[in-house]
Structure 1
Amino acid sequence: MAMADASRILQTTLIPTFSQNPSHCRTSNLSYHHCSFKRFHRIRCSSLYTAATDSQSAAGTTAITWGCDVDSVENASALQQWLSDCGLPPQKMAIQKVQVGERGLVAMKNIRKGEKLLFVPPSLFITADSRTYAFSGFGAVNDRSGAVKSEASLANSSKWSNYISALPRQPYSLLYCSEGFSTATPCNFRTRSELDRYLEASQIRQRAIERINDVTGTYNDLKLRIFSKHPSLFPEEVFNMETFKWSFGILFSRLVRLPSMDGKVALVPWADMLNHSCEVETFLDYDKSSQGVVFMTDRAYQPGEQVFISYGRKSNGELLLSYGFVPREGTNPRDSVELSFSLKTSDKCYKEKVEALKKQGLSASQCYPLQITGWPVELMAYAYLAVCPPSMRSRFDEMAAAASNKTTSKKDTRYPEIEEEAQQFILDACEASISKYSKFLQESGTMDLDVTNPKLLNRKVFLKQLAVDLCTSEQRILFRAQYILRRRLRDIRSGELRALKIFDGFRKFFS
């Protein structure tokens, strides 16, 4: 999910729009939208939030908590009752513990293949258009008094209190990978250090850093322009970095994109309790006939079985970045690893090649995805351009166009005269990346977690294990690519050798 989508939902739905005349703020009718859904997985971790609120209390800031431990039965029951009271029709599923520290929707009755489930009505959606100020990890606007109150102080009087109480107090998000994160410490430096240690080999590291910096940058901008100037409306105990991270963690992991509503995004209570499986293809969408968010099962379920959906055709790295889990190795057919490539500055045609790439919106350095089944034709075209000699400069624009994924044609154009050099170019990048993964995996067993706060131990161990799982799966793809490339180069070179032997034989025959 794009940062812009999360930011728009947060600022228009979770954060009340500031006005000198708050009485103009109204809650409009909820509109209905859909998304492909995302959630957390697997291991339970001790809450980093506890440590953060401890530090806030020590500094004299009142700690306000939202959410619950993810295995809370009481909060799950309260959520189900609230949903029923709000119009959710009887369901064939219920929230249950499905693994240690994890909740999911479990079949209570026999469910047939092809059956529609959920039917969450639009009145329960939370979208950027709905301006549902009652829901907020930060606060709520009271239309009569114009005062901003924290959801904690609203308690059961808030319409959304049962939903908020059932959300995880600690989203499994890379936003929380930095120890002791607070408004007093720039997160980009502390988080960057930890991500460098755990995700050094993976390209997902840079995307994680960019996301973290986007979130903290958004908060710092709002604090400078709004929060600090109106402390009575935006009290620090509510509008602080910790609650901001919590809200974005919830958005990144739970927003659903609804294709039938032009790809609009929404928070959909109840639907966001479904977990992901790489083995299913079904996804959430808005159904006009039933007027609610539904999904159609692609297999049958017996009572007691957990029901799954797909969060989309995402790599393990993308699933970790947004949802905080990594599927078991070898179970994700959509898994891929991004490999970085760069033109050599020593290339005599470096400037010409860069210009050709710029025409296509590309740069001298590019990343392309590798899957266990191979790589895109765009990568091969980039490799051809990278090794292309000056004698073939008339082909630079053609190769650059083929290297862009913006082109409608996916023709796999080959240049036999530089095929060996292009394959070797990809192999070199592949093997350089493999060495980084190998180094991390070899050192991970003895890596010092540097945990000064015992409350953070589980979080540190969890993040480290996720990094190991991700690097193992990505290295597996690279090993496969290495094997294919080495075999192809061997065939090319053995073919050339046979041709040379035949030519030499003819030469000797006629001499």
Structure 2
Amino acid sequence: MAEVSRIFHSTLIPTFSTLPHLTLNSPRSQFQPRRSTIHCSISTTGDATRIAISWGCDVDSLENAAALQKWLSESGLPPQKMAIERVEVGERGLVALKNIRKGEKLLFVPPSLFITADSEWSCPEAGDVLKQSSVPDWPLLATYLISEASLMKSSRWSNYISALPQQPYSLLTRAELDRYLEASQIRERAVERVNNVTGTYNDLRLRIFTKYPDLFPEEVFNMETFKWSFGILFSRLVRLPSMEGRVALVPWADMLNHSCEVETFLDYDKSSQGVVFTTDRPYQPGEQVFISYGKKSNGELLLSYGFVPREGTNPRDSVELLLSLNKSDKCYKEKMEALRKHGLSASQCFPLQITGWPLELMAYAYLAVSPPSMSRQFDEMAAAASNKTTSKKDIKYHEIEEEALQFILDTCESSLSKYTRFLQESGSMDLDMTSPKQLNRKLFLKQLAVDLCTSERRILFRSQYIFEVVNKNWIDLYNESTRLE
């Protein structure tokens, strides 16, 4: 399952929402484009034209993977102690060919086999236009990948691109998000990601593609192909700290699957002059070798990499609980001012884990239920609810403790009802499709959604139980102190 997604450390790639839309105001260039053959199939269904991506492969294709391995070896990849095989965790993965010791450095992919913003374009005129327009690395690499993919065998990277998934799961459509992630708060971040990709493509199209149609024909450089290329980048692009944080696609290395039990990650090793990782455990011949994609929740792993670990296997799993101010609150305006001052909004998400929750959550709940008589404490509560300040977080307001806990419990109950309803209705989803590939995609997404909702609901149930116990203990303590008085 993890084959549909690859990335290698929590600090490697920033959230895509931080990528600004492009501002490209360079004058039109006088480049004479080199003519090249474009490979792209177009099919018409009714009055709608659908552009089919004709590169990549099914995620379990060993034939394409074997061709990739052969090409890499011929292109300078040193002999490896691993090979690509079908595996239980992920459709394809790297399996040990020999005994591998704990602490051993593996991989050794040389920089000549990286794809970076400085890589040579098969169509150099297109690359020059983008670079002169100061296009950032992410959209530059997305465009590069499409340009090379469209050239098929005439591109140096044809064997690599042929081994990439034709339908990455790391960037879902709005329809898929509405259908499969309606119960999870991770949906909002997924929608933001789709909107950022759409906005970035529209900027490129407006400022560059329409001005150079010979270099960037719309039948190749369109929304669908950009969603494919960004889906590849989200799941496979790696930031290399030892190369001054440069981002790169690293063929072969991106065949490694993730394990929640593994701590090791990829980086550039200056001594061996290649991308490596250091094993944190031994492997026997035939065992699958893993790395870590970072300490992420199941929702984050789905959002970036297109898979969900088995329930209970991810110690970093969490669910986001959305707390909101009541608009009918007499102090709504004053509370909003306090929240904005500390970088918060009227609706704020807080992560719940099986092991607990952040102190900021309770501070926000205090603010949400506090009466007008506590207006002088609004700023203190808002500061404690923000993770952007160093203010004291563990604040206590015993007079509104019960109301704050009940507010959180009510929010948990509301969230749980969404998960329960989705899981009950998931069995009746209409998946009737004429295309076997589309049917397989929908079945897979449905299973991912069910797995994610099951794991997030489990955390919510556990958190709700603990909040109920805390609330009951507080009430008992309060009643006891009142009786003694």
What band does the TM-score fall into relative to the shorter chain?
0.7 to 0.9
Q: Is the 8 A contact 2:89 2:257 kept in 1?
A: no
Amino acid at match of 1:315: S
Is 1:208 equivalent to 2:190 in the alignment? Answer: yes
Q: Is the 8 A contact 1:377 1:412 kept in 2?
A: yes
Amino acid at match of 1:217: G
Distance 1:155 1:342, change over 3 A: closer
Partner of 1:400: 382
Residues in 2 aligned to 1:141 and 1:158: alpha-carbon distance in whole angstroms: 17
Partner of 1:361: 343
Q: CA-atom RMSD, angstroms?
A: 3.2
| Equivalent runs, 1:16-165 vs 2, <5 Å | 20-22=29-31, 54-55=43-44, 65-99=54-88, 102-128=91-117, 130-134=118-122, 151=148, 154-165=151-162
Cα distance, 1:197 vs structure 2: 2.8
Residues in 2 aligned to 1:18 and 1:244: alpha-carbon distance in whole angstroms: 24
Is 1:330 equivalent to 2:312 in the alignment? Answer: yes
Residues in 2 aligned to 1:57 and 1:82: alpha-carbon distance in whole angstroms: 41
Residues in 1 aligned to 2:28 and 2:157: alpha-carbon distance in whole angstroms: 23
Distance 1:64 1:266, change over 3 A: same
Q: Is the 8 A contact 2:43 2:49 kept in 1?
A: no
Residues in 2 aligned to 1:274 and 1:164: alpha-carbon distance in whole angstroms: 17
Amino acid at match of 2:299: G
Q: Deviations over 1:334-362 (max 9, x none)?
A: 01111111111222222111111111111
Q: Deviations over 1:47-97 (max 9, x none)?
A: xxx9x9544899788866111222222322221122223222211111111
| Equivalent runs, 1:473-484 vs 2, <5 Å | 473-484=455-466
Q: Deviations over 1:155-210 (max 9, x none)?
A: 434221111111112212343x4xxxxxxxxxxxxx24x42232111111122222
Partner of 2:139: none
Q: The residue matched to 1:280 in structure 2 has which SS? A: coil
| Equivalent runs, 1:271-290 vs 2, <5 Å | 271-290=253-272
Is 1:311 equivalent to 2:293 in the alignment? Answer: yes
Question: TM-score normalised to the size of structure 2?
Answer: 0.84
Partner of 1:263: 245
Residues in 1 aligned to 2:367 and 2:245: alpha-carbon distance in whole angstroms: 36
Cα distance, 1:414 vs structure 2: 2.0
Partner of 2:483: 501
Residues in 2 aligned to 1:411 and 1:245: alpha-carbon distance in whole angstroms: 41
Question: Which of 1 and 2 has greater Rg?
Answer: 1
Residues in 2 aligned to 1:211 and 1:150: alpha-carbon distance in whole angstroms: 23
Cα distance, 1:262 vs structure 2: 4.3
Residues in 2 aligned to 1:124 and 1:18: alpha-carbon distance in whole angstroms: 33
Partner of 2:5: none
Residues in 2 aligned to 1:418 and 1:314: alpha-carbon distance in whole angstroms: 34
Partner of 2:420: 438
Is 1:389 equivalent to 2:377 in the alignment? Answer: no
Percent same amino acid at aligned positions?
73
Q: Deviations over 1:94-115 (max 9, x none)?
A: 1111149711111000001111
**Please, which of 202, 206, 218 is the counterpart of residue 236 of structure 1?**
218
Distance 1:135 1:327, change over 3 A: farther
Q: The residue matched to 1:96 in structure 2 has which SS? A: strand
Cα distance, 1:455 vs structure 2: 4.1
Distance 1:443 1:264, change over 3 A: same
The count of aligned residue pairs is: 451
Partner of 1:370: 352
Residues in 2 aligned to 1:125 and 1:441: alpha-carbon distance in whole angstroms: 42
Residues in 1 aligned to 2:308 and 2:289: alpha-carbon distance in whole angstroms: 19
Residues in 2 aligned to 1:135 and 1:313: alpha-carbon distance in whole angstroms: 39
Question: Bigger CA drift: 96-105 or 289-298?
Answer: 96-105
Question: Bigger CA drift: 393-402 or 76-85?
Answer: 76-85
Cα distance, 1:497 vs structure 2: 2.3
Gaps of 5+ in 1: 12-16, 26-49, 143-147, 178-190, 504-511
